[in-house]
Amino acid sequence: MYFLITAGGTREYIDPVRFISNASSGKMGYALSQAAFDAGDKVTLISASDMQPPVGVDFVGVESAKDMLDAVKKYFKECDCLIMAAAVSDYAPVRCSKTKIKKGHSNLIIKLKPTADILAWSGRNKRKNQIIVGFALEDKSLKTNAEKKVKAKHLDMIVANKSDTIGADKTTVHIKTPGSKWVTVKDQKKSAIAKKIIEMIKKI
């Protein structure tokens, strides 16, 4: 199979030196890339993380949500499976200052706009036999919100977890495909979870 995998938290710049981002390390996306490559598959990793990519994996570095969308669109038609493990920023500044914003004594107001929903775009544009896997990080109503995401974005699999997974080497995830029961992988290294996800994808 040909896997297209995204990883890391995007950066949305306010000025040349400041940006809005999130705490995603990119570890899950990198573990998935390694697991798919170890299984003998072709992998393209689109990453906003500063981590060293796995040897043998095609790497595309990006920064912003727009960069990631453009990269996904470039490779999407050719892949058999897209795994959106990246934590894409939901909002970006309406304007990015061309010069560093100087500190003042009054409040600074930054107007934000929604970023493009890459997962929703992928779900709308997927081929008949193409597999789309999304991630849902929730702090409440985890499974309920994850199931809504599956339906709304036409996903073939969802991996749901809580916010304590960010940056951790071990975590618990809940995996579901439409029409099936939830599968829980409890307190495992991300490398083991990634291997399980790749195995489940291949069964689809």
CB-based contacts of 202, cutoff 8 Å, min separation 6: 1, 39
Active-site entry in 22, 125, 145, 161: 22
Which H or E run includes 19? strand 18-20
Phi, psi at residue 9, to the nearest 5°?
-100, 130
CB atoms < 10 A from the CB of 91, how many? 14
Contact 154, 131 (CB under 8 A): no
CB-based contacts of 55, cutoff 8 Å, min separation 6: none
Active site residue 161: no
Active site residues: 22
